[in-house]
Amino acid sequence: MIEFQAVSGGYPDRKVLREISFSVAKGSLTALIGPNGCGKTTLLRTAARRLSASGGRILLEGRPIEEYGRKEFARTAAFLPQNRSVPGITVRALVSHGRFPYLGFSRRLRAADRAAVRRALEITATGDWAERDLRELSGGERQRVYLAMALAQDTGTILLDEPTAFLDLYRQFELLELLRRLCNEGKAILIVLHDLALALQYSDQLVLLEQGRMAAVGTPEQIVAQGALDRVFRVQTHRAEGGYWFSPAQREGQKGSLEDGGTEKNLD
């Protein structure tokens, strides 16, 4: 699990995050949402120690993240950044890289490492491609393979930055179903999602950021009920059977208001 306590931070010349507090419990999926540039990725990178916080603290399994050793941290939290290169290596070689924090000085894979790689390939159903070149795979397939690498890290917490980007809809569902299964197995997952409908549908908790501050935190139902999405994203949220959909908010001065729950009659 990972806990944010009044975290502020950003870049040396630009403070992005202000006083962010929430926690991601074991076995739950939290989605970070917010308009472009609100600090979602910055927050995730801070949690992954790619950036350092200027205030507050982040606890991983109850311990401040800066107290972890480099490899120890990688054995406790996995981070999948959005920008990744696609080297010409096999799927198995990539997934095996997930075992790096467990390797000794000789950097050789032991039996336990091989077993973890096998398990990760199995869970993500990527075993059939194990000997294929990463570059031959489609974007969705690669995404799953990268997730397999993170799983091979065998961490309790997984941080993912927009893993559904560039995937077609079916693959997005597939990926999120897989993440849900991992949660059920006890992982704590923090994920940056661009797609609100998916975030509402699949997460246990939503953290809504607006200009580096927390605009709202809670279950999807709570967030919708507060009307926070409507305000921050300037949309109207509509509940439909089994999910949500959105329409643009009406311009100021027009009839029909933002805080009006969002039903069919508000649509032009």
Partner 1 sequence: MRILPRFYIPTLPARSAKGRAAVLLGLALLTLLAVLLSLRFGSQPISASQMLDALRTGDEKSVAYRILRYMRLPRTVAGLVAGGALALAGTLIQAVLNNVMASPNVIGVNAGAGFAAMLAVTLAPSAAALIPAAAFFGALCTALFIYLLAVRAGLSRTTLILAGVAVSSILTAGIDTLTLLYPDDVIGATGFMLGGFSGVTLDAVLSAGPYLAAGALLAALLAVDLNLLQLGEESAASLGLAVGRVRFAAILAAALLAGAAVSFAGLLGFVGLLVPHIARRLIGTDNRWLMPASVLAGGSFVLICDLAARMLFAPFELPVGIVMSLLGGPFFLSLLLRRRKRSGIYD
For partner 1, give the closer residue by CB, 68 or 245: 68
Token duo for residue 85: 């290169």
Question: What part of residues 24-63 is at the interface with partner 1 (CB under 8 A)?
Answer: 48, 50
87 binds partner 1 (CB under 8 A): yes
Q: DSSP for 76-123?
A: HEEEE-S-----S-BHHHHHHHTTGGG--TT----HHHHHHHHHHHHH
94 binds partner 1 (CB under 8 A): yes
User: Which range touches partner 1 (CB under 8 A), out of 87-95, 199-207, 245-253, 260-268?
Assistant: 87-95
Rounded to the nearest whole angstrom, what is the least distance from the CB of residue 84 to partner 1 in the complex?
A: 5
Cβ atoms of 15 and 54 within 8 Å: the answer is yes
Calpha distance 54→128 (Å, rounded) = 45
User: Which range touches partner 1 (CB under 8 A), out of 58-66, 83-91, 202-210, 249-257?
Assistant: 83-91
Over the window 60 to 79, marking each residue x when it contacts partner 1 by CB under 8 A and - when it does not, the resulting string is ----------xxxxxx--xx
Question: What part of residues 148-177 is at the interface with partner 1 (CB under 8 A)?
Answer: 153
For partner 1, give the closer residue by CB, 68 or 173: 68
For partner 1, give the closer residue by CB, 63 or 84: 84
Rounded to the nearest whole angstrom, what is the least distance from the CB of residue 17 to partner 1 in the complex?
A: 18
Query: 144-148 long-range CB contacts below 8 Å, 24 or more apart?
Result: 144/175, 144/178, 145/91, 145/94, 145/95, 146/80, 146/84, 146/94, 147/80, 147/175, 147/178, 148/91, 148/94, 148/95, 148/98, 148/120, 148/121, 148/123, 148/124
Cβ atoms of 218 and 242 within 8 Å: the answer is no
Q: Name the residue with tokens 């995404």.
A: 143
97 binds partner 1 (CB under 8 A): yes
Other C-beta atoms closer than 10 Å to the C-beta of 170 total 9
Counted residue by residue, the chain has a size of 268
Calpha distance 191→75 (Å, rounded) = 18
Cβ atoms of 262 and 239 within 8 Å: the answer is yes
Q: How many residues bind partner 1 (CB under 8 A)?
A: 32
User: Which range touches partner 1 (CB under 8 A), out of 10-18, 110-118, 127-135, 170-178?
Assistant: 127-135
For partner 1, give the closer residue by CB, 160 or 228: 160
Rounded to the nearest whole angstrom, what is the least distance from the CB of residue 98 to partner 1 in the complex?
A: 7
Over the window 180 to 219, marking each residue x when it contacts partner 1 by CB under 8 A and - when it does not, the resulting string is ----------------------------------------
Rounded to the nearest whole angstrom, what is the least distance from the CB of residue 30 to partner 1 in the complex?
A: 19
Rounded to the nearest whole angstrom, what is the least distance from the CB of residue 48 to partner 1 in the complex?
A: 6
Calpha distance 59→151 (Å, rounded) = 21
Token duo for residue 147: 């997730």
Q: For binding to partner 1 (CB under 8 A), which residues are involved? A: 48, 50, 70-75, 78-81, 83-90, 93-94, 97-98, 100-101, 103, 107, 131, 133, 135, 153
